[in-house]
């Protein structure tokens, strides 16, 4: 009869452990943010190990650094009517959620983390995180951290959403700290929430999360601008607008590299591929690049939808950027892009002000070389996020005596 041999049983000190929860029902943002955080924290001390719990269907296509791994939760997909369903299992959504909740709690019990970092959703997808939170809270061992991106949604819309989900009560009850991956001077994502004074005292603004070139991956040598709709699931209109600009203006330059994203529909991509072919090399297209940081670093400019991770990359690599933010189903990208434009960090192609027309896109691309780079604007602590989070985690783990985590 086999027995589990544990570090405790051998008299060894277990290595410090950080567990990340990233629900990932749609897109790449949550997983990419969690991966950046895990890489930074584990890179700060070689004793630390991390696991990312993720529902992303493309998690296996990313590389993870040493001492960082991931567990893929059964996927869910959003139906046109707004309801959710199992992505592949054929289970109803309640069964799928229960299965995910059990896997999350089991991972928490067996990995037994010293820190849990939850991305965006205080209770997880449909409350699936609550059993794990209850177990961790009862053990009084782990530091429970809620991580929020710089913008969530309009204040009134967010307040209604959090009230419906019981998210505010959960945030107040479970979490020791709230890390906001941005700056309060740029935007307060919780301004519409009726938080207690105690909860506001637990909020820490970290700054944005700096990104770096990866060791492998090659960018084109010829000048290009990069077109990226992020995950691509809602990027059809932006891609169509850019291709139309190159089709209408045969002298538009430089050439473009287009990354569709893994979630662009097959029918849309097939139609775009025919148009790309007809442009005879002026636009090159790829479906997905898990090392897009290198393409961003080599680009002469960026045209993107303005999700959180892409915005961090624009700042990190100091790239002139035209942001075409989505306005549905939430205004997150529009709010972020508008504040960034006010500060002089990017240019926004605003559907309400400029109109999303082919001529406005041509003008925006032609104007990229004359834009100022983000570095022309001095914002204290703008890209300090990973340094802040790493130092904070080391303090929680007792690996940095100089950090006060009270």
Percent with pLDDT over 70 in the chain: 89
Mean pLDDT value across residues 142-164 = 96
Nearest to 295, CA basis, from 208, 229, 214, 191? 214
Strands 224-228 and 321-323, by their bridges, are: unpaired
Averaged confidence pLDDT in the chain:
88
Q: Has residue 10 got a pLDDT over 70?
A: no
The pLDDT-based confidence of 406 (bands split at 50, 70, 90) is very low
Give the pLDDT confidence score for residue 351 in this predicted structure.
87
Domain extent listing, the chain: 17-210+383-396, 224-376
Residue tagged 């991931």 (tokens): 70
Give the pLDDT confidence score for residue 26 in this predicted structure.
60
The pLDDT-based confidence of 63 (bands split at 50, 70, 90) is confident
Give the pLDDT confidence score for residue 27 in this predicted structure.
58
Positive or negative torsion for Cα 292, 297, 299, 300: positive
Q: Has residue 135 got a pLDDT over 80?
A: yes
Same-fold call for 17-210+383-396 versus 224-376: yes
Q: What angle do CA 164, 166, 169 make, to 5 degrees?
A: 140
The CATH number corresponding to 224-376 among 3.40.605.10, 3.30.830.10, 3.40.50.2000, 2.60.40.10 equals: 3.40.50.2000
Give the pLDDT confidence score for residue 130 in this predicted structure.
97
Mean pLDDT value across residues 231-249 = 87
The pLDDT-based confidence of 218 (bands split at 50, 70, 90) is low
Mean pLDDT value across residues 110-114 = 96
Lowest-pLDDT choice from 71-80, 93-102, 174-183: 71-80
The pLDDT-based confidence of 241 (bands split at 50, 70, 90) is very high
Nearest to 196, CA basis, from 224, 217, 168? 168
Output the pTM of the full model. 0.90
Instruction: Quote the tokens at residue 112.
Output: 């037994």
Lowest-pLDDT choice from 101-115, 141-155, 323-337, 372-386: 323-337
Strands 321-323 and 347-348, by their bridges, are: parallel
Per-range mean pLDDT, top range of 253-262, 284-293, 356-365: 356-365
Is-contact 37 179, C-beta < 8 A? Answer: no
Q: Has residue 405 got a pLDDT over 50?
A: no
Per-range mean pLDDT, top range of 26-30, 235-239, 300-304: 300-304
Fold type of domain 17-210+383-396: Rossmann fold (3.40.50)
Q: Has residue 384 got a pLDDT over 90?
A: yes
Positive or negative torsion for Cα 144, 187, 388, 69: positive
Q: Has residue 89 got a pLDDT over 90?
A: no
Give the pLDDT confidence score for residue 24 in this predicted structure.
67
Percent with pLDDT over 90 in the chain: 66
Instruction: Quote the tokens at residue 185.
Output: 């001077």
Instruction: Quote the tokens at residue 61.
Output: 């296509």
Give the pLDDT confidence score for residue 84 in this predicted structure.
75
């Amino acid at each position: 009869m086999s027995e589990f041999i544990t570090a405790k049983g051998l008299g060894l000190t277990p290595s410090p452990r950080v567990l990340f929860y990233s629900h990932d029902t749609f897109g790449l943002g949550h997983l990419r943010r969690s991966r950046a955080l895990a890489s930074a924290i584990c890179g700060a001390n070689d004793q630390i190990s991390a696991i990312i719990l993720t529902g992303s269907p493309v998690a296996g296509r990313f590389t993870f650094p040493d001492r960082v791994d991931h567990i893929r939760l059964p996927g869910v997909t959003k139906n046109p009517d707004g309801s959710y369903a199992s992505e592949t299992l054929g289970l109803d959504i309640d069964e799928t959620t229960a299965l995910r909740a059990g896997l999350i709690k089991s991972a928490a019990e067996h990995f037994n983390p010293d820190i849990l970092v939850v991305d965006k959703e205080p209770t997880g997808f449909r409350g699936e995180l609550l059993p794990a939170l209850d177990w961790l809270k009862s053990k009084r061992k782990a530091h429970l951290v809620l991580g929020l991106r710089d913008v969530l949604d309009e204040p009134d819309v967010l307040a209604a959403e959090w009230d419906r989900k019981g998210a505010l009560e959960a945030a107040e009850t479970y979490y020791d700290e709230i890390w906001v991956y941005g700056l309060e001077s740029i935007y307060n994502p919780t301004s519409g929430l009726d938080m207690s004074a105690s909860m506001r005292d637990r909020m820490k603004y970290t700054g944005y999360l700096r990104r770096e070139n990866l060791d492998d991956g090659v960018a084109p040598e010829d000048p290009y601008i990069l077109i990226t709709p992020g995950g691509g699931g809602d990027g059809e209109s932006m891609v169509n607008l850019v291709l139309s600009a190159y089709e209408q203006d045969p002298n538009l330059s430089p050439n473009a590299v287009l990354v569709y994203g893994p979630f662009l529909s097959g029918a849309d991509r097939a139609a775009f591929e025919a148009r790309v072919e007809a442009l005879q090399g002026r636009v090159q297209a790829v479906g997905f690049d898990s090392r897009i940081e290198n393409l961003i670093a080599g680009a002469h400019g960026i045209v993107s939808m303005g999700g959180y991770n892409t915005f961090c990359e624009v700042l990190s690599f100091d790239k002139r950027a035209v942001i075409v933010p989505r306005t549905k189903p939430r205004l997150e990208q529009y709010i972020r892009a508008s504040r960034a434009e006010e500060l002089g960090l990017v240019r926004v192609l605003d559907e309400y002000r400029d109109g999303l027309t082919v001529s406005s896109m041509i003008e925006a691309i032609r104007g990229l070389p004359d834009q100022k780079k983000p570095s022309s604007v001095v914002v204290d602590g703008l890209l300090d996020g990973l340094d802040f989070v790493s130092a904070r985690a080391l303090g929680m783990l007792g690996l940095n005596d100089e950090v006060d985590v009270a």
